[in-house]
Structure 1
Amino acid sequence: MTAQEQRAAARKFAEDWNGRGDEKQDTQVFWIALLQHVFGVERPTEFIQFEKTVQLSHKSFIDGYIPQTKVLIEQKGKDIKLKHAYRQSDGSSLTPYQQAQRYAGYLPYEERPRWIIVCNFQEFNLYDTNYPNGEPEVIRLSDLEKEYHRLACIVNENSKAVKKEMEVSIAAGEIVGKLYNALLRQYNNPEDEESLKSLNVLCVRLVFCLYAEDAEIFGSRNMFLNYLQEFDTRHMRKALIELFQVLDTKPEERDPYLEPELAAFPYVNGGLFAKEDIEIPQFTEEICELLLEKASADFDWSDISPTIFGAVFESTLNPETRRKGGMHYTSIENIHKVIDPLFLDDLRAELNEIQQIQVDKTRKQKLEAYRDKLSQLTFLDPAAGSGNFLTETYLCLRRLENQALRLLSDQLVMGDTINNPIKVSIQQFYGIEINDFAVTVAKTALWIAESQMLKETEDIISHTIDFLPLKSYVNIVEANALRMDWETVVPKNRLNYIMGNPPFVGYSLQSKEQKSDILSIYIDEKGKTYKTAGKIDYVSGWYWKAAQLMQNTTIRTAFVSTNSITQGEQVAGVWKPLYDRFGIHIDFAHRTFIWDSEANMKAHVHCVIVGFSCAVNEKPRMLFTGNRMQIVNNINAYLIDAPDIFITNLNKPLSVIPEMTTGNRPADGGHLIIEDNEYEEFISSEPNAKKYIKRLVGSTEFINNKKRWCLWLVGVSPIELRKMPKVMERIELCRQDRLSGAADRQKLASTPSLFRETKNPQSFILMPKVSSEKRKYIPAGFLDENTISTDLNFIIPEATLYHFGVLESNIHMAWMRSVCGRLKSDYRYSANIVYNNFPWPDATDAQKAKIEQTAQGILDARALYPDSSLADLYDELTMPPELRKAHQKNDQAVLAAYGIKKGDAAYSSESACVAELMRRYQALTET
C-alpha cells in the first residue's frame, strides 16, 4: 500500500467505527478490519489470535495477541474509560492496562508482550513494556488518518530484508568464531599479544576474501574457493600467504610467470593485505573443512549487513577483554535512535520536498545541490568500535544519494561515456578506537558497505563501476580518544556531526588508567580537577571532549550512554561543568530504555540517548519515551521538560521536616547477628540473652518479611554481659574481626559489643535504600524500638503519618524516579539527593489532616493481609485492590496539598508533575 492509500483506508476505518463498538460482538471484526484494510495484512485471522487462554488462579482469556510482533490487546467497549479501575471477577480493582499486565505476567517468557494496546474502539493506548511505569502513547480513532503510523508496531517486527541480514550476519559471526578458535589452537603461543594481533588480521583477511568472492568483487563467483580447493591441508598455509601477497601487488609489478589461478586475482590495495610478516600457523583438517565448506561452499557472504556483522565479528574477541573495555554493540534500531533525529530525518525530509517540485529544471538543480551537500557532510565517531555508526550512516547517505540518482538517471549518460556519479565517499567518515582489531574490522565493514551500495548504484545507471582497487582508508585512528586532540583526526571546521556509543564503565568499576583519563579531562578554568570527577561514569569523558570541540561551531553530537549519567548525584557532576564551561544544551533525548545488542553474549543495559550542541538550535526539542515523542520547551540533564537545574548533595532538608539518617552499620563480621535458623538454639543455650535480642532489618528483610535478629547490647552492664558466656564469645569474635580490619575499623574494637552506630529511636519511618523499579511505590513503613534498622535503609526518627503519606505518594515517587541513582535498574533512594532536595507542599492544617487520614488508610490496607510481605503487596500483578485504592486516595490528597487539580497537566502526567516539582525546587534554591 502507498502512504496515500493507507491514509485513505485509515480515514474510512475511522468513519466506519465512529461512535460504535461492543466488546463482545465487535472486537474481532474491529481488529481484523484494522489489520487487513489499514495495515495490509493479507490473512489477518492467521496473524492475530483471539481469546488466547491464560491461567491465573482461574482460566482467563486475552482479547487479542499477535505472536509475530509480541503485541497483547486488551479490548473494552466504547463507553469504558481506559484510565479508570474496574472491579474484576476475583474482587480486585484494576485498570484495563493493569489487567493486561496481569495477563502478561502469566504468559511463558518467550510470549511476553513487547507492546500492550488498551483500546475502547475510540482510542488506542499504546504501552511500551520496556517502560513499565511509563505513560502510554494515545492515538484517537478520529486522528487515525494522520497518525496510523504510530500503531505500526502491531505489524512491523522488522522488515524482511533487515531480518534476513541480521540472521545471515549472526550466522557469519558464528562461523568466524569457530574459525578463530580453531586457528588459535594452532599458534605456538596462543596468549602472546603479537600472535593474537596476527590472528585478528588473518580473520579479517579471510572474511574479506569470502565476501569478495560471493559479491563477485574478485571477478567471478567461488574464485577464492576454487583456488583453495587445489591444495591439501599441508599446503594450505603457503597457498594463503602467496594469495595475500598477490592481492597486495599491482598487476604490472607481479611476477610475469605467476600461475594463472593467482594472476586472475585483482589488486585490492587499501592496506588490508599490506603487512606480510603476520604470523600464520599451520592448518588442520578441521580448519580446512570450516574454511572450504562451512565458510565458503555452504554460505553466501554477500547478504551480510556490514553494520550488524561488524559487531558480531568483533565478538570473536575474548569476552573478558570486551567486558573490561566496557564495549557494547549497538543494534541498527538503536543506531537510528541516534542518527535519525541528529541529521537523517532532516535529510530525508529535504529530499522529499525536492521530489515534490514540479518544475523539471529546478528539481534537477536541487537534486544536484542535494547530492553535493551529502558529499560534504563529515562525521566522527570517537568510540568507533567495529564501525557500526559509521557504516550505518554511510549506508543511509548512499541510499539517499541513490534515491536522488534514480530521479536524475536520465541525464547521467553523456554521449558514449557514462560518468561515475557517486559523490558520497567513505572518506567523509572518521573514527577513533583504542582496540587495533576493532579498527581493522571497522575499515573492512566500510569497504563491504561501499561494495554493496556500489551494486545498487550500478543497477540504477545500468553500468558497471570498478570497485577495486580499494582506496586507502586511514580515517579510523587507533588511539585512546580521551588522551588525544580530536582535531588531529578531523579539523572541527570540516566536521558536522559527532555520534557514537562510548564505553559503559561505572565510576566504581573503572581501572586506574580509566579513572586517570576522567580526572585529566574534567578540569576547571584554573586547571583543577572538579571535586565530583571521581564519581562519574567513563562515558562522561566523551561528552566533555565533544562539548569542548563544538565550541564556536555548528557541530552537533549524540551519544548512547548508560542512564546513570542522568540520575542521582552524577547529573551535577557530569553536566553542570558542560553547561557552565561550554554552554551546551540538549536538543533531543531518548529517556531510559532497555537496550540489547547484536553481539554474542548480549549486553542488557539501561540506556539513554542524548543529542546536544553549543550552537543555537532552532529546531523543536524532541523528548522520546519509548515509542512516544513529545515536542517540549526544554530538556534538562534529568531528561525532563523542566528548567536546567542541578540537584546536588544536601546534608539537611530544604523544607522544614525531620532529618533522614542512615540505619546502623553492624561492622561486626556477622558475630552480633543471629540468623533465624540459629535463633532457637541460641536462646536455648543462652536464655538470659533473650531480652537483649531485637529484630534486625535491612532493605531485603524489610521488604520480603525475612526474619533476622541481633544482639543489641547498648547500655548493658559489664557484669550482666559476663553472665552470658555465649554472648561473650560473640563479642570476642567481633573484637578480633575488627582488629584485623583497616585502621577505622580497628578503632571499633574498643566497643566490640556494639554496632558501629547505635540509633534506636522509639518510632521511625524506614525507607529501603534499594527497591525494584517494577514497583510504583517504594514500600516505606513505621517501626519502633524493638526493631533495629541496618545501614541498608534510611530512617526518619520522630516522623508522623503526614510525612509517611507524602513520602508514599506518587508525586514523591515521581521525583524519586527522576533524580535517584540506580543499582542496575533498581531504584537507589538517597537522603542527600532525593529526600533533602524534595520540595514539600505548603499544606494547610486541613490538608495535613487529610493526608494523615489517607496515610493511615495505606497502613490499614496492608494490615488486611498479615501473611503477605511488602514484596507481595507491592507487586503490580498481585497488589490487593484495597491497598491500590488507599494509595490512589493518598495520591489525590497529596496532589491537593500542592494545589494540583484534576485537569492540570501535572495531575495525570508524571513528567509534567516532575517538571512542576523542579520549578518549585528552583524557587526554593534561588531564595
Structure 2
Amino acid sequence: MTDKQQSAAAAAFAERWRGRGYERGESQSFWIDLLSNVYGIDTPTNGFITFEDHQMVDSSNFIDGRIPSTKVLIEQKSLGKDLRKGIHQSDGSLLNPFQQARRYVVSLPVSEHPRWIVTCNFSEFLVYDMEQPNGEPEQILLENLGKEYYRLQFLVDAKNDHLRKEMEVSMQAGEIVGRIYEALLKQYDDNSTEALRWLNILCVRIVFCLYAEDAGIFSHDQFHDFLVTYEAKDLRRALRDLFEVLNTPKEQRSKYLQAELAAFPYTNGGLFAETIEIPQFTDELKQTLLQNASLDFDWSEISPTIFGAVFESTLNPETRRSGGMHYTSIENIHKVIDPLFLNDLRAELDEILDEKVEKQRVRKLDAYQDKLASLTFLDPACGSGNFLTETYLSLRRLENEAIRSKYHDQTMIGAFMNPIKVSIHQFYGIEINDFAVTVATTALWISEAQMMAETEKIVTFEDNFLPLKSYSNIHEGNALRTDWETVVPKSHLTYIIGNPPFVGANIMNDNQRADIRSIFGSKWKNIGEMDYVTGWYLKATQMMHGTDIRTALVSTNSISQGEQVANLWKPLFEEGVHIDFAHRTFRWDSEASLKAHVHCVIIGFSCTNDKHTMTIYDNAKEHKASNINAYLMDAPNVFVESKSKPLCRVPSIRKGNQPTDGGNLIIEAADLENFLACEPKSRKFIKRLIGSKEYINNKARYCLWLKEATPAELRQMPTVLNRIEGVRKMRESSSDEATRRLANYPHLFRETNNPETYIVVPSVSSERRRYVPMGFLTKDTIPTNLVLIIPDATLYHFGILESNVHMAWMRAVCGRLEMRYRYSKDVVYNNFPWPTPTEEQKEKIEQTAQAILDARALYPDSSLADLYDELTMPVELRKAHQENDRAVMAAYGFPIKTTTESQCVAELFKLYQELTNKKPITI
C-alpha cells in the first residue's frame, strides 16, 4: 500500500466509525477493521491481536486488547468517555483508563510488559510511551486519521524483518572476521603498530574478495577456487600474487601469468595498492577461510551500513579490549537523516510519481535525479562510515524508484546509457582512526556494488563496477583540529550529519580538553564543563554561516539539560543558529552483543533564514512546534543560568553536610549494636544519616554528630577518639589544601548544617517516578551532601515543590545521570518561578500538602521508593497528589483540564522571562 492509498484507507475508516462506538459490543470490530484495512494485517485475530485476556488485579478483569509482537496494550472505552478522567473501580479507587491499564501490567510476565499503552474511546486515541511513563500522552483524533495515519504505525511495526535478517547476516559476518583475525594475529606473532596495520589491511582485502565472489563482481566462487589449489604453506605467496594482479590493469600484466590469476579483473581504487607483509597460513586457517568464510556463507547479503561498523569494531584493538562492539543501528541513523532531508525527498518523489502525463513525469524525474546527484554530505566523525553508507543507500533507493518509473522495466536502453546519477563521490567524512577510514571507504564501495545490482534488475545497461573509481573523500584526521573546508568547500556542501564521540566533560583526556580549548577560545564561558561533542556543534555552526547547509547530530542528552544548555546554546543562538527538529532524550542502544546504553538526543539545526516546519520527536510521538528552544521544548528561547539565590522570595536551599572523613564518622546499621556496646556513652551523639538513596529507600545509616560534644565528653569515649584520629590522618594526607585545613577540626563534618526542621530534596531520583519524593525532617536526622535541604520551609512550599508544575519545570531544566533526575539548587530551585496565590489559594495548597504527608503516614512500613512506584502507589497518595496538583495549577492560573506538561513548561519559561526581565533571543 502506498502512502496515498494508506491515507485514503485511514480516512475511509474514520468515516465508517464516525459517531459509533460501544465498548463491549464494537471494540473488537473497530480494532480488526483498523489493523486489516488501514495497516494491512491479514486476519489480525489469527495470532496478531488478542482480545479480553483474563487478568487478576483486585477482582476479575480483562485486558481489552494486546498486540504481543509490537508490545501494545489497549484499554478501550465507549464513545464519549473522557479518557483523562478517573473512573470508580471495584476497590473504591478512582483511576483513569491509563492508570487502569497500568494495573494490568503488574500481572504480566516482565517479558510481556507493553512498550505502548493505548487508551481509546472510538473518537480519540491517547498513546502512552512506557519508555517515558510520566510523560504526557500523544493525542490522535479519529477525524484526523486520514492525514495522521502514520502516528499509529507503531501498532504493526516491529523491527522490519528484512532489516533483522541483514543485521543477523552482518553479525555472523563479523564473527567470521573475528575468527580469521584471531588466527592471523597468532601467525603474525607481532603486536607492533605496523604489524597490526598489516593485519587490518589484509582482513579488509580478504573480506572484499569474499564479497566480490558472492556478489558477481568476481566470477562465482573465483576467490575460493583460486585459493583451494594451494597448500596452506603456499597461501602467503598466492595472496601476495593475487593482490598484485588485482592492482594491475590487464594490459600491463605479464602475458605469462597463470590462467587462474589472469582471470581476475582489475580492481584499482587503492584497495590493493600498498605492499604489506602477509604471514604464513596454517591448515586450520585455510579451512576457516575456504569453508566457513567462503562456501558456507553468502557475503552478498550483508548490510554495508551494519557490517562496516561490525568489521571495524572487530578489528579495532581498543574495542576488542573493551569486550564489545558499539555501532549505530540503521533505525537510529534514520532518526537523523529522515527529518533532515529524506522525508522531504520521499514526499517530492511521491508527488512526481502521481503525475499522469508521462512526458511531464519523465521530465520531473530527470530533474529529481539531478537534484539527488547535487546533494553533498559530510560526516565529521564518520567512523566506519555507517551514516554515509546508509544515506547513500537511501538516495539510491529513491533514484531506483525514479528509474523504474522512467523506463518501465525496459531490458535495454542502449550502450553507454548509464541511468545512475547518484555517486559515492557526493559523500565526505573525517575520521581520526586510519583503519576506520579504510573500512568506511570499502563499505561505500560495497554499497555501490549492491545498488548497481539493484538497478540492473530494473533496467539493463552497459557499465562495469570494476575497476573501482579512486575514492579519497574520507579524510584521516582529528575533526576538531581540521579545517572542514579542506575536506569539502562549504559552497558545495548540503548537509552535515553524524554521531560524534560520547565523552563527558568530566572524563575527557588531556588531548580532548586541548581540542575543546583550541576551538572555543577565551570568549566562551565555562568551557571546562562542556562535553566533547560541543566542539562539533561549534565547528558545524562555523561551516554553516552564510550558507543553506543544515546539520543533524547525535549527542548525549547533557547538552540540552542543566548548566550546559546556557553555556553552549546561548552563544550559538546569538550567532544565528536555530533548531529545526529534535528527538528528545531516548536510549541509544548499540546493535551489538554488548549493549551500550547511552541516553541521547538528536538535534537538527541551521543558520539559514529559510526555516522548515519545526518538529519535536518524543520517542515515536511527533509534535509540530512554533519554536524549539535549547531545552528541546516548544517554548521561548530563554536560558536558565546558574543562580546562587532564589529568583522569588522563598527560603534558601543548600546542600547537606559533606563528611570528608574517610568513613570514620559514619556507622553502618549492621555495626551500630556492636559500636554502642563498646562505647555506650556515644549514644547521645549518634544520629540518623541520609543521602538520596537512604532517604528514598528508608535505608538505616548513622553517624557521629559531635558538634555539641565537649572535650571532656570526647576524652571519655576512646573508640570515638580512635575514629576522630582516623579523620585527622585522612585529612592531613589529602592533596587538597582545603581538606588539609579541616584536619584542625577532625571531629566535625566538613559542613555542620543541622536546622530544627527542613525539607529534604533528593539530589538524584529515578525518572520512573512522576514526583521526586521530598519531605520534612528534623535535627535528629543529619543530611549528607547527597541531598539538598530547605530550612524554614512551610507546608505551602512543600505543596508547590511536590506539584506537577514544579516537576514539569524540574524535568525540563535539570541535569541527568543517565535518565535519572539530578535536582540542582542553582538551576532548578533558584530559577523556579513561583506563583503569587491569594490567601485562599495558599491555604488550599497547605491543606493538600498536609494530605500528601497524611497519605504517606498510612503506610509506615513502606519506603518512598515503594510509595512512589507508579505500579504500587497507594490510592490515597495518588488522590492526595492529584488534589495538590489542581490546587497549585489554580494558583498559577493554568487550566486544569487542558494544560499539558509541555504547555505548562512553556508558560513557566514565559514567567521566568518576565521575572528576570530577560528578553528572549530572537532568531
**What's 1:353 paired with?**
351
Amino acid across the alignment from 2:503: V
List alignment gaps of at least 5 residues for structure 1.
Answer: none
Instruction: Report the equivalent of 2:825.
Output: 831
Asked whether the equivalents of residues 412 and 460 of structure 2 are also in contact (C-alpha less than 8 Å), the reply is: no
Q: Secondary structure at the match of 2:640?
A: coil
How far the C-alpha of 1:153 sits from its partner, in A, is 1.4
| Partner residue, 1:795 | 789
1:219-230 pair list within 5 angstroms: 220-230=219-229
Counterpart check, 1:75 vs 2:76: yes
Q: Indicate the larger mover: 469-478 or 145-154.
A: 145-154
Q: Does the 8 A contact of 2:771 with 2:868 survive in 1?
A: yes
8 Å contact 1:413–1:419 — kept in the other structure? no
Alignment partner of 1:145 is 2:146: yes
Match of 2:861 among 843, 846, 867: 867
- Paired residue for 2:921? none
**Which has the larger displacement, 249-258 or 126-135?**
126-135
Q: Quick one: structure 1 residues 734 and 175, their matched pair in 2 at CA, closer, same or farther if it must change by over 3 Å?
A: same
User: 2:261 corresponds to which residue?
Assistant: 262
CA 1:315–1:129: 2 relative to 1, 3 Å: farther
Does 1:884 pair with 2:878? yes
Q: Is the 8 A contact 1:22 1:78 kept in 2?
A: yes
Structure 1 residue 393: Cα displacement: 1.1
Structure 2 unaligned segments of length 5 or more: list them. Answer: 919-923
Letter in 2 for 1:240: L
Query: Residue in 2 aligned with 1:664?
Result: 657
Q: Deviations over 1:739-779 (max 9, x none)?
A: 12122211111111111110000010000100001111100
**1: distance between equivalents of 2:830 and 2:780?**
27
Secondary structure at the counterpart of residue 186 of structure 1: helix
- Counterparts of 1:378 and 1:399 in 2: how far apart (Å)? 17
Structure 1: distance between partners of 2:652 and 2:402:
65
1:61 offset after TM fit, Å?
4.3
CA contact (8 A) 2:313 2:325 kept: no
**Cα contact 2:410–2:460 (8 A) shared by 1:** no
| 2:424 maps to amino acid | I
Cα displacement (A) at 1:105: 4.9
Moved more, 202-211 or 778-787: 202-211
Residue 197 in structure 1 maps to residue 193 in structure 2: no
CA distance in structure 2 between the aligned counterparts of 1:483 and 1:119, rounded to whole angstroms: 54
Q: Quick one: distance in 2 between partners of 1:778 and 1:390? A: 42
Task: Give secondary structure in 1 for the equivalent of 2:636.
Answer: coil
Shifted more, 332-341 versus 47-56: the winner is: 47-56
Does the Cα contact within 8 Å between 2:415 and 2:462 map onto a contact in 1?
no
Identity across the alignment (%) = 61
Paired residue type of 2:214: D
Match of 1:458 in 2: 456
**CA deviation vs aligned residue, 1:773-825 (integer Å, no higher than 9, x gap):** 11111001100011100000000110111111111111111111111001111
1:297 aligned partner? 295
8 Å CA contact 2:755–2:791 kept in 1: the answer is yes
Matching residue's letter, 2:740: Q
The aligned runs of 1:300-699 (5 Å cut-off) are 300-318=298-316, 320-321=318-319, 328-409=326-407, 417-523=415-521, 528=522, 530-580=524-574, 582-699=575-692
Please say if residues 412 and 461 of structure 2, whose CA atoms lie closer than 8 Å, have aligned partners that are also in contact: no
Structure-2 residue corresponding to 1:846:
840
Any idea what SS the aligned residue of 1:531 has? coil
Q: Deviations over 1:699-718 (max 9, x none)?
A: 10000000111111112110
**Number of residue-to-residue matches in the alignment:** 916
Of 163-172 and 556-565, deviating more is 163-172
Shift of 1:648: 1.1
Instruction: Measure, in 2, the Cα distance between the counterparts of 1:645 and 1:454.
Output: 50
TM-score normalised to structure 2 length: 0.96
CA contact (8 A) 2:814 2:827 kept: yes
Partner of 2:812: 818
CA distance in 1, matches of 2:317, 2:153: 37
Cα distance in 2 for partners of 1:23, 1:664 equals: 57
Give the C-alpha shift of residue 6 in structure 1: 3.8
**What TM-score do the two structures reach when normalised by structure 1?**
0.95
Aligned residues of 2:889 and 2:896 also touching (Cα < 8 A): no
Do 1:735 and 1:749's aligned partners in 2 also have CA atoms closer than 8 Å?
A: yes
In the TM superposition, what is the alpha-carbon distance from 1:99 to its structure 2 partner?
3.0
Residue 120 of structure 1 deviates from its aligned partner by: 2.4
Q: Give the Cα–Cα distance (whole angstroms) in 2 for the partners of residues 573 and 327 of structure 1.
A: 32
Using the TM superposition, give the Cα deviation of residue 354 of structure 1 relative to its aligned residue in structure 2, in angstroms: 2.3
Which of residues 705, 721, 724 is equivalent to 2:717? 724
**1:239 aligns to what?**
238
Separation of aligned partners in 2, 1:591 and 1:370: 32
SS at match of 1:417: coil
Further displaced range: 826-835 or 194-203? 194-203
Q: Give the equivalent residue in structure 1 for 2:131.
A: 130
Question: 611-620 or 824-833, which moves further after superposition?
Answer: 611-620
- Partner Cα separation in structure 1 for residue 864 and residue 163 of structure 2: 45
Q: Distance in 1 between matches of 2:599 and 2:141?
A: 31
Deviations 1:600-630 (A, max 9, x none): 4232111111111111123211111122222
Judge conservation of contact 1:458–1:465 (CA < 8 Å) in 2: no
Look up the SS of the partner of 1:728 in the other structure.
helix
Deviation of residue 464 (structure 1)?
Answer: 4.3
Contact kept, 8 Å, 1:327 with 1:503, in 2: the verdict is no
Q: How far off is 1:593 after superposition?
A: 1.3
Moved more, 338-347 or 804-813: 338-347
Flag the 1:106–1:403 CA change in 2: closer, same or farther, 3 A.
same
Amino acid at match of 1:139: I
Which residue number in structure 1 is paired with residue 906 of structure 2? 915
State the superposition RMSD in angstroms: 2.2
Residue-by-residue CA offset, 1:265-316 (whole Å, 9 max, x unaligned): 1011111111112x32222333223221221111111111111111222221
Distance apart, 1:240 and its partner CA = 1.7
Matching of residue 777 in structure 1 with residue 776 in structure 2: no
- Corresponding residue for residue 31 of structure 1: 31
Q: Deviations over 1:3-41 (max 9, x none)?
A: 455445434433443444343443333323322232222
**SS, match of residue 548 in structure 2:** coil
Secondary structure (helix, strand or coil) at the match of 1:330 reads coil
Write the letter of the residue equivalent to 1:694: K
Q: Deviations over 1:74-106 (max 9, x none)?
A: 223334322123344455443322333343355
Deviations 1:843-871 (A, max 9, x none): 22221111111111110110010000000
